[in-house]
Structure 1
Amino acid sequence: MIDISLTKLLLLAVVALIVLGPERLPHAARTAGALLRRMRNGWDSVRAEVEREIQAEEIKRTLRETAENARATHESVRDDVRAAGAEIRGASERIRDTFTETQTARAAGREPDPALDMLPLKRGEPVPPENETHDRT
């Protein structure tokens, strides 16, 4: 805003009184005040509009970031679910293979391999020694 000191304001009032005269000075002051109010209101509305635009841009940016985070989380969860599904499929295949081998051995009239008694949870895990007893319930 314009910085006008008291002395400058008094000097301006004296010049206006001399130029306009005492009859027209009140009307000119009201007109100047009205123009200042309009200018201030216009400036305030422009400032408010700019602030609204800035807030709208911040909201849009936040929404984009949230969407990107949600997409990344979705992909991570999807990958975890796929990995768990693959692990479950592998375990079920090993169980089926063990069951098939056990059934085949029994059908052939021989005792199944004792190593099949203890099914490893994951491929590559060591099979416990045969002399350990396992509680099968």
Structure 2
Amino acid sequence: MFDIGFWELLVVGVVALLVLGPERLPGAIRTTMKTVRSVKSTASGFKQEVEHQLRVHELHENLKKAEQQGLEDISPELQKSVDELKNAAESVQEPYKKK
């Protein structure tokens, strides 16, 4: 992502040491790392949500195609999507079925 080499990091470290001093530098590093981790976590969560929404949209489109064809003589890909949606619907209804 960023093209930062060893020498660039060394220069940044020396400047940070001069500006912050040896007492505050470890705390600043911890705070920076915590912020970077939270940003990465947020970005990862966002990416997973977008992928999930794209998959749902794809399944929805495949279901529309299958319904237009009357759920008969559909391609194996569409049949797989329809079966996946049926299984998901059954798993959602499972806890509510009377025993």
Structures share fold, TM-score greater than 0.5: yes
| Distance of aligned partners of 1:71 and 1:59 in 2 relative to their CA distance in 1, 3 Å threshold | closer
**After alignment, is 27-36 or 61-70 more displaced?**
61-70
Counterpart for residue 62 of structure 2: 62
- CA distance in 2 between counterparts of 1:49 and 1:2 reads 25
- 1:3, distance to aligned residue in structure 2 (A): 2.6
- CA distance in 2 between counterparts of 1:54 and 1:29 reads 37
Q: Does 1:28 align with 2:28?
A: yes
Unpaired runs of 5+ residues, structure 1, are 74-137
- CA distance in 2 between counterparts of 1:21 and 1:38 reads 26
- CA distance in 1 between counterparts of 2:17 and 2:40 reads 25
- CA distance in 2 between counterparts of 1:33 and 1:72 reads 56
Counterpart for residue 51 of structure 2: 51
What RMSD in Å do the two structures reach over aligned CA positions?
A: 1.5
Higher normalized contact order (CA 8 Å, seq sep 6+, divided by chain length): 2
TM-score (norm: length of structure 1): 0.50
Q: After TM superposition, which residue ranges in structure 1, 4 or more long, deviate above 2 angstroms?
A: none
Query: Whose Rg is larger?
Result: 1
Counterpart for residue 16 of structure 2: 16
Percent of residue pairs bearing the same amino acid type: 36
Name the count of aligned residue pairs.
73
- CA distance in 1 between counterparts of 2:71 and 2:36 reads 52
- CA distance in 2 between counterparts of 1:60 and 1:7 reads 51
- CA distance in 1 between counterparts of 2:7 and 2:50 reads 36
Counterpart for residue 40 of structure 1: 40
For residues 1-137 of structure 1, what are the structure 2 equivalents within 5 Å?
Answer: 1-70=1-70
- 1:61, distance to aligned residue in structure 2 (A): 0.7
Unpaired runs of 5+ residues, structure 2, are 74-99
